[in-house]
Structure formats: C-alpha cells, structure tokens
Amino acid sequence: MKGHRVTIKDIARKLNISPSTVSYALNNHPNINPNTKKAIKELAQELNYKPNKVALSLLQNESKIIGLLIPEIIHHFFSTVISGIEQIANKSGYHVMICQSNESYEREVENVQALLSSNIDGFIISMSKNTHKFDHFRNIEKIGVPIVFFDRPCEGVFADKVIVDDFEGAFQATKHLIESGCKHIIHLAGPQHLAIGEKRKDGYVEAHKHFNISIPEHYIQACDTYDQAYKLIPELIKEHPEVDGVFAVNDLTAMGSIKALRKLKKKIPGDVAVCGFTNSFISRMSYFELSSVDQKGFEMGQVAANLLLDRMKSRESYQPVTKVLKTKLLVRDSSKK
Amino acid sequence: MKGHRVTIKDIARKLNISPSTVSYALNNHPNINPNTKKAIKELAQELNYKPNKVALSLLQNESKIIGLLIPEIIHHFFSTVISGIEQIANKSGYHVMICQSNESYEREVENVQALLSSNIDGFIISMSKNTHKFDHFRNIEKIGVPIVFFDRPCEGVFADKVIVDDFEGAFQATKHLIESGCKHIIHLAGPQHLAIGEKRKDGYVEAHKHFNISIPEHYIQACDTYDQAYKLIPELIKEHPEVDGVFAVNDLTAMGSIKALRKLKKKIPGDVAVCGFTNSFISRMSYFELSSVDQKGFEMGQVAANLLLDRMKSRESYQPVTKVLKTKLLVRDSSKK
C-alpha cells in the first residue's frame, strides 16, 4: 500500500524541465515564465504534490514551526501556556510542535536534537527539573536559533525569559495562611536549583519572618508531585501532629496533600488549610476547590510567543530580557477559614 | 548574535572536498577512505556540526519522528495516551511531536501539513470533533505515510484504529446508576457523527431498555465540555427537577455538572448521582472523586504505537485492523449510594 511521495523531480521529469525550475515556480519566483509556472502548478495539483518542507526549508531556511519543550503535559499549567503560545503563533502563521521531557535530562537533550533536526525556527522551553547540564541549550544558542524560557529558565544561557514573581506569590500565600490562623505551616518545596523552587521557598520563609514565627526543621520538605505528597503527608502528620497548614510549590502537590489529609480524616480547612501555586484548571474545576496563586499561564504563553516572534524577525544582536509577571492569590475552599 | 549553522558545505570547503563526500563520510558510507572519513568526522565535531535531519531525511527518507495529532491537551486522557505512546516509541528510538487541533478542522488540516512537511514517519491521530471532511487524512494515505487512529477514528480512511468498547462502557455506567436507584438519568452526549458520541449514547439507551425505562425527550443533550455542562445543568434541572442522575460522555463534562449541581445546593450523590467516562487523572485526584468508566488511556497509547511501529517497519500491503479495548466501571464518591 506504500504510495510514492510525489517529488519535484517527478514533476520535472514529466514536463521535461529542470527540478530547480519546478522548485522556483512552486515558490513563485519572478524569473519563471508565467505560462511555465501555470503548467507546473497545475501538474503539481493533479499529482497531489505536497511541498516537502524538508526540501523547502533548505531553500528558505525557515520552517514556520516553533518547538515547545515542556516537562510534563499532565500539569494543566502547561496546557494553559500552550494555548497562549498557540494563539499568538498561529496568528503569525507559525505552528507549534510540542515535545515533553517527562522531567528527564536525557529526553530533553534528545528532544532538542529532534526539533533542531526538524529545522524549527525557534524554541520555547521550560526546563526539566533533572537538568543540571546545559550544553544542549548552549548548542541551540551557538547555532543561532532563538530561545525563550518560561517558568523554569536556565540561567547562564543567552535567552529571553518569562517568569512570575514567585517570591511575592509564595509570600502572599503563606501570609494568608498565617492570617487565617495557621501556626504550623509546612512547605512542600520544589528543587532548589530551579528558581521557582528556591524563590517560592524564600517567600514562605520571608512571610514567617514577617510575623516573627520561627520555622522548625523538617517543616520544609522536598516534595513536588501528587504522588510524593500523597505518600509524605501521612508520615509528616504522624511526626508533627501540630501541622495546621500546607503551602505546596504547585497545585498537583497540593491536591495530593488534600487527598492524603482526607484519608487521615482531617477536616480541610478546619484542621489543616492547604494552598497551592499555579491556579491551574484543576484547582477550580472540582467540587472542592483549591486555594492557589495565579501564575498567569495563558499570559505567560502569549508573552513568550511574542518575544520569540520578535527575535525570529530580527536576528540582530540583542540583550536578552526577563519579563516578570505579577501573581494573584485566589482564596478558595481549601483555606477559607 | 545570530550564529551560523555549520553545514556540510562548510566542512567540504575547509577540507577542499565535495559536499557529497562529506555527507557520505558522516553517514559512514563504505566507499569513503577511512582516513578521509576520520578527518571529516573530527572537523565536524570541532565545528560543532549538527546533522541537519532536514538534509539527512532527504537522504535516508526517515525522520524517526512520530506525529501525534490530538484535539486538546487539557483532557488528561490525552496525556495518559501520550505517555503510553512515548513509552513504546522511545524504546524504538522514535520521538513524538505533538500538535493539538483545539477541536478545529482548519487547525487539524494545517497540523497535518506541518507534520508531513517535517517528513515524519507516521501519524497517530484522534480526530477533532468539528472535522467532517477527510481529504487531509486521505492525502496522508496517498503519500503512503501510515496512520493509526485512536479514540476518535475517521471511518473511510485506510488506517488501523484503537478504540474502547464505548457501547459496553456506557451500558455498564448507566446500569450502575439505575441499580443505585436513579430513575431519571440525563445523558450529556458527544457529537453523534463521532463513534464515541454515538456508541456511548447507544449504551445509555440500551441500559434503559434493559430495565424497561423509557427516556423522555430532552434527557439526551448535546453537551460535551466542562463549560457547556456548567451552563446547561441549571437550565436542565429547572425544567426537569426530577433528574436524579447524570451520565456524561467524558469526565470534564461530568466535573462541570458536579460543579453546577453544587452551586444549586444539590447533594451528590444523594440528590443527583454523576458518572463520567474516561477515568482520567482528575476523576480520582480530587477530594471528591468522580465515578467513571476506565478508558485505558495508557494501554491505548501503547497499542497505537505498537501498531504504527509495525506498519512503519513493513510497508507491504496490509488489511487495517481495529483493536477494541475493554472498559471498566469505577464507582467512586459521585455515585456511591
């Protein structure tokens, strides 16, 4: 059943002209005689010729494709960012191809290579949390393909960045929990080598300082997935039964905590108040709503795409910028006291 | 800052040999002198030459990339399917590039073209619900690139399909609601031109026949998104206050119903029991869990990827197959009476 992909050569052979004439004609080059052009285009249509962008991009050196590298599609946050990116990119005739790293460094490196090999015009990247070496990003830089990082930028790579004010968001969330009456708030933290992990923890610490509350050891735990939280919370509550608040680095971790707390028959927010970070769709869609810090995913995607389009248009030298979006605390069922 | 992407021509120029010699050497062609090969490879490494798969794929006619077309990433179901596909594809050295149609026919057509132009080796597709013309799929078929459809297959295209037993799943879900005491079950249905929409509705109808319960007009409503359900449920309940059960075509629609019912101060499942379809992550992750029909997303992804790998290996003529996976009803908070 394998058909033959009609090529420029097939058309050239049938018309007894050179393949480059066919190529020029199909790309509307002014040097080609209008009648020849017409004949070529008609035959191309008749033979169901699809311009092979592989060949085309060698000619034009652009693919009209933006490569998007994200850690995990399961985080609704990323689907919101993708919507923002696509809205802007599609308007300018660009397509978005998405690859996920599944938080694997190796997969991320392979995805970079696969996308580069597809001759994409630019990258929008949120780094895997297990990425500690950055040569694959530096290679993109050397090749001259522009990158915009979002949410989890890579420091030390020449690229634009779009982030939120993680410190302020975490500060406000923790302050809200304290003001709601929580005296013993644990923080389920992200990796500290990522700015989002470090700054959200810093905001949590700063809010405690603000109220002169000391933070016991073990109140800050490395824990940033649904499954990890679901497993860790029962152990933590057993050791620290006084805990009455949870501030989680992202919504899925907060949801895992809620699930575990419910199993322990803890009332939420009566016994333990919970606040996440992201304001993903899941935080507001379910029967029982999660308080969260709005991370402006859609806007982040739009800003990232606009930055990238600018960089792709003008390949002049530039000074990379970092755009910092404001967050907003949204108080819902899980922390309304 | 725009660097220069090192090409085969650059290497050829530096070594004063022909570009094709460089290309053959880098692809380990036996006709090239080992010393020449060594010199070329060393220079390629020194110059940070990345094999441009654009050029390479013209040579080898394979990109090692699988194109995945899905309607909406926001459905957790698709992220589960993607995980299943990637698990199988990555093992065989394939990468997965994902494009979403956002349920738009036009976007779907453009995505097919973009992926074809990237010279991908095969397609895994779940059709947009607004797709009523199928020439873009038939073009893939003509070109000879294999397709595997999943979840929402396109009839009339020569391709393998992986689906679940939608009829049986819907029958079991509705039977469960009836056996739990529901006497007035509405069905929030998917588009009837898609098999998943039609068969899930048929299962709902059949379960009623099984118990000799007639279905009033207006009990079957075209409604298959979170937002639609959130808007429709208050109107429906106002007109039909007797309604005590909701069977939704997918989990997000069920979640939208639950959210609306809560706003109406209806007890779930006491006043109204709710059951979805998919068993997506969201159905079991939140504080209040949703009953649902397990659609085996991960397995579906694995089966689809294995089928595609087989088709890509052997391009001989074949008779397309349709794999039907069994579903499983999972009873949770929203319908436990």
**Residue B45: pLDDT over 80:** yes
Q: Burial, B282: exposed, middle or buried (Cβ in 10 Å; 0-12, 13-18, 19+)?
A: buried
Are B301 and B156 part of one and the same domain? Answer: yes
Candidates A54, A68, A85, A292: best to mutate against B (most CBs of B within 10 A) is: A54
Position B29 scores a pLDDT of 67
**Residue A321: pLDDT over 60:** yes
Q: Which residues of B touch A52 (CB under 8 A)?
A: 117, 119
Across the range A255-265, mean pLDDT stands at 95
Among B35, B60, B85, identify where a domain stops: B60
Are B91 and B201 part of one and the same domain? Answer: no
| Number of folded domains that form chain A | 3
Give the CATH number of the domain where residue B42 resides: 1.10.260.40
* A3 to B258: CB separation less than 8 angstroms, yes or no: no
Are A78 and A175 part of one and the same domain? Answer: no
Let me know if residue B75 belongs to a domain.
yes
Counted across chains A and B, CB pairs separated by less than 8 A come out at 188
Let me know if residue A3 belongs to a domain.
no
Are A86 and A46 part of one and the same domain? Answer: no
> Which pairing describes strands A292-294 and A328-330: parallel, antiparallel, or unpaired?
antiparallel
Are A18 and A90 part of one and the same domain? Answer: no
CA-based nearest residue in chain B for residue A263: B287
Residue B315 banded pLDDT, cuts 50, 70, 90: low
Kindly state the tokens that stand for B314: 């052997």
pLDDT in tens, A36-86: 888 888 888 888 777 654 444 444 556 788 999 999 887 788 989 999 999
Q: Which residues of B touch A281 (CB under 8 A)?
A: 74
Residue B2 banded pLDDT, cuts 50, 70, 90: very low
Q: Which domain holds residue A221?
A: 166-295+329-335
Tell me if A131 sits within 8 A of A109, measured CB to CB. Answer: no
Are B121 and B157 part of one and the same domain? Answer: yes
Among A19, A36, A60, identify where a domain stops: A60
Let me know if residue B308 belongs to a domain.
yes
Let me know if residue A303 belongs to a domain.
yes
Give the CATH number of the domain where residue B180 resides: 3.40.50.2300
Are B204 and B226 part of one and the same domain? Answer: yes
Q: Within a 10 A sphere around the Cβ of B335, how many other Cβ atoms?
A: 28
Let me know if residue B3 belongs to a domain.
no
Kindly give, in sequence order, each residue whose CB lies less than 8 Å from that of residue B16, ignoring residues fewer than 6 positions away.
none
The nearest CA of chain B is from the CA of A334 a distance in Å of 10
Determine what percent of chain A is predicted with pLDDT higher than 70. Answer: 92
Q: Which residues of B touch A318 (CB under 8 A)?
A: 1
Tell me if B315 sits within 8 A of B144, measured CB to CB. Answer: yes
Distances (CA, A) of B322 to A194, B84, B104, B121, B155: 45, 18, 25, 21, 11
Kindly state the tokens that stand for B248: 């939704």
CA distance B123 to B129: 18
Position A57 scores a pLDDT of 45
Helix (H) or strand (E) holding B270: none
SS3 A221: strand
Tell me if B277 sits within 8 A of B250, measured CB to CB. Answer: yes
CA A141 distance to own-chain centroid: 19
DSSP A38: H
Are A77 and A53 part of one and the same domain? Answer: no
**Residue A5: pLDDT over 50:** yes
Are A157 and A301 part of one and the same domain? Answer: yes
Position B23 scores a pLDDT of 75
DSSP B200: H
CA distance B149 to B323: 10
The nearest CA of chain A is from the CA of B213 a distance in Å of 30
Are A249 and A144 part of one and the same domain? Answer: no
Q: Using CB atoms, which residue from A95, A116, A145 is nearest to B110?
A: A95
Are A113 and A189 part of one and the same domain? Answer: no
Position A59 scores a pLDDT of 46
Determine what percent of chain B is predicted with pLDDT higher than 70. Answer: 92
Let me know if residue B140 belongs to a domain.
yes
**Residue A1: pLDDT over 50:** no
Q: What torsion, rounded to 10 degrees, do the Cα atoms B63, B66, B71, B73 define?
A: -100
Helix (H) or strand (E) holding A187: strand A185-189
DSSP string of A228-273, one letter each residue: HHHHHHHHHHHH-TT--EEEESSHHHHHHHHHHHHHTT--TTTT-E
Let me know if residue B123 belongs to a domain.
yes
Are B13 and B38 part of one and the same domain? Answer: yes
SS3 A44: helix
The nearest CA of chain A is from the CA of B173 a distance in Å of 21
